[in-house]
Amino acid sequence: MDTIGPFDVMDVDCPSRLVLQRIGDKWTPLVMQALKAGPGRFTAIRSAVGGVTPKVLTQTLRTLERDGLVARTVYAQVPPRVDYALTGLGATLLEPLDAVRRWAEEHAGAILESRDAYDDRQEASRA
């Protein structure tokens, strides 16, 4: 198995598993795509992502900030303004996420067909 550097995602104790878990969660790739074009405010990110609750988006943004993938900038004005932007490290994640997005969009139809066929077989075997 190929590994890069001292980390091996197949090792149960490897911290790279946490990184893989982060980028593979439901909301991270969508938030990263929303910030791809440049900094955005919370409501713009929420609109772009669609379907995410404010609480979950807040948690996701905080985690991405903690991981160094997103920077949060607070502007001292009334009312306060907060922008989120990808960091340099976060920007390096765009290429692999774009590849996964393209794959998902290109193959969604085939996946849905496979699911339907599987469900039909399961239903037929129960009858």
What pLDDT does 78 receive? 87
Task: Indicate the pTM of the whole model.
Answer: 0.85
Tokens of 82: 């907060």
Q: Which residue has the tokens 């991270």?
A: 28
Q: In the prediction, which pLDDT does 80 show?
A: 86
Residue of 62, 78, 72, 64 whose CA lies nearest to 41: 72
Q: What is the mean pLDDT of each run of 10 residues along the chain (127 residues)?
A: 75 89 93 96 97 97 97 92 97 95 96 96 90
Which residues have C-beta within 8 Å of that of residue 52, sequence separation ≥ 6?
A: 27, 30, 46, 60
pLDDT of residue 9: 86
CB burial of 38-57 (b: ≥16 within 10 Å; e: otherwise) equals eebeeeebbebbeebeeeeb
Domains, in order of start, for the chain: 16-92 (1.10.10.10)
pLDDT for residue 26: 94
Give me 56's structure tokens: 């979950």
Q: For the residues of 88-118, what is the DSSP string, one character each?
A: HHHHTTHHHHHHHHHHHHHHHHHHHHHHHHH
Which of these, 105, 115, 38, 108, lies nearest to 70 by C-alpha position?
38
